[in-house]
Structure formats: C-alpha cells, structure tokens
Amino acid sequence: MTVSSPPRVLTVAGSDSGGGAGIQADLKTMLALGVHGMSVIAAVTAQNSLGVQGYWELPPEAVRAQLDSVLGDIGAQAVKTGMLASAVLVETVAEALSGVDAPVVVDPVGVSKHGDALLAPEAVETVKSRLLPVATVVTPNLWEVSQLTGVKVEDERDLRRAADAILALGPAWALVKGGHLPGAPVDLLTDGDREFRFTAERHDNRHTHGTGCTLASAVASWLALGEDVPSAVGKAKEYVTGAIARGFALGAGIGPVDHAW
C-alpha cells in the first residue's frame, strides 16, 4: 500500500531543552497540524521554566550542511526561522533560503519572555538587510518591532505604522503581534495593500512559553497545506489561542502552551 506523504515543513531555529519553545515547539505544532516537520538546529539552549541559563551556536558549516541535506533531497513546502543567535548564522540561513521556492516565515527572535538575549546585538542589522528580504511573512512582537525599526507601539492605532516600517525592510507580509497591548489581543497583518486584524479572547494564563514559535510554525504549516497568507494566519491564530488557553504549569516558573489539542 502506498500512503501519500504529508507536506514538509522545515524549521531553522534553536533547541529549548525544556521542550516548550524553539525547535521542540515547532515540531510539536507541525505534528498537531498534520505536516511532516524537519529541523535545522542553529543553536542549543540550556533552558527551563525559569529562563535560559546559556546557549551555544552551531558552527555555520554545520547549519549549512543541515540545510543542504534537507533541501537537497526532501525539500520543503514551507520554512520557518526562529532563534538564529548570531550574524554569521543569520547570513548563512538567509543565503540558503534565498534560492528556495517555498514560503519563508521569519520569527525575528530577539529575547525570551524572561528577558534572556537570544540574538547577538550586532546581528540585528543582518536580520534587517539579509533575512527580512527573503521572508514571505515576518512575525515580530512589539519589542522586536522596536528593535528592528525604532517604531514604538503604544496603542492599537500604531500597529499599521509599525507593520509598514517592517514592510519597508523587504518582506511580502508583516504580522505585528499586539498581544502585549492593553485590552483584547490584536495582531495586524498587511502586505501594504490589504490589511487584516485578528483579535482573540485574552486568556488569564501565565503559562505561555513558546507562543511566538508556535504561531510562526503554525503559519508555515498552514501555508504548506495550501492556504494563502491571510487564511494561514487566521488558522494559526486559532491554534495558538487554543494552545495558550490550555497552557500548563511545569517547573517553578512559566510553563508551556499545550500543543496537543
């Protein structure tokens, strides 16, 4: 019997030893949404519910070799990037992805919820000049918007200005996540012409570790399943909202969202 193969989605990101964010969240999301998940590991974090205790980057040759192995044989219908740690790794990944005929979802990871840096400060310029131009969708939170563009979002009315500043750096779509603004969480998606606002109920649950990774992976998964960008983002929001509602306690700190629903 031949079984048809599911769409393939690649994450290029950092490992979270605690299993709540990074590569581990990405692969769990992909499993939950019915695609085949593949992983290129850029960095390894020592991490738990209390924060990131340390991280180690892989050599650029090791990252490039993983990319070549996966893309040269299996291929991908969508790619997601997360924690890339350093300028040389951002450059390596951007170069490899510039030749890939698949949508690329870039989560421009800067710091963790605990405030631990996951990207070297000097790599921000490389993210702007090399990675964002190859992106189909970029998914910054408000802190990342400010780091990448200098735009400070104070209320919902600033979201479009923030998204336009992200679009000026070259991606096809910007999804600005306004979850940290007061009131109901609202995210704004635009390609410069069309604009979509996604609102969700606020869940009073502190166990939200891995939210950003999960959203970006869900967008990539739905793109690989054939949805267009606005529809993929809508479905991904629905999935991450359910995962946040079911987030659970682990360790003494912030627990993960629940991918298995």
Is 213 assigned a catalytic role?
Answer: yes
DSSP SS3 for 34: coil
Scan residues 50-89 and list those touching ligand PLP (CB under 6 A).
82-83
Task: Specify whether the backbone of 183 is left (phi greater than 0), alpha (psi in -120 to 50) or beta.
Answer: left
Among 40, 97, 213, 218, binds ligand PLP (CB under 6 A): 213
Nearer to ligand PLP among residue 4 and residue 144 (C-beta): 144
Site string for ligand PLP, 82-101 (x = CB under 6 A): xx------------------
CB 222 within 8 A of CB 77: no
Is 211 assigned a catalytic role?
Answer: yes
The window from 12-20, 97-105, 123-131, 150-158 that contacts ligand PLP (CB under 6 A) reads 12-20
7 binds ligand PLP, rule: CB under 6 A: no
User: How, if at all, do strands 186-190 and 195-199 pair?
Assistant: antiparallel
CB 133 within 8 A of CB 142: no
Sign of the dihedral defined by the CA atoms of residues 155, 161, 167, 168, in that order: negative
CA 89 to chain centroid: 16
Sign of the dihedral defined by the CA atoms of residues 62, 64, 69, 74, in that order: positive
Spot the catalytic one: 80, 128, 177, 235: 177
16 binds ligand PLP, rule: CB under 6 A: yes
212 binds ligand PLP, rule: CB under 6 A: yes
21 binds ligand PLP, rule: CB under 6 A: yes
To ligand PLP, the closest distance from the beta carbon of 4 in angstroms equals 31
Spot the catalytic one: 20, 178, 179, 210: 210
User: How, if at all, do strands 173-177 and 186-190 pair?
Assistant: antiparallel
User: Annotated catalytic sites, by residue?
Assistant: 177, 208, 210-213
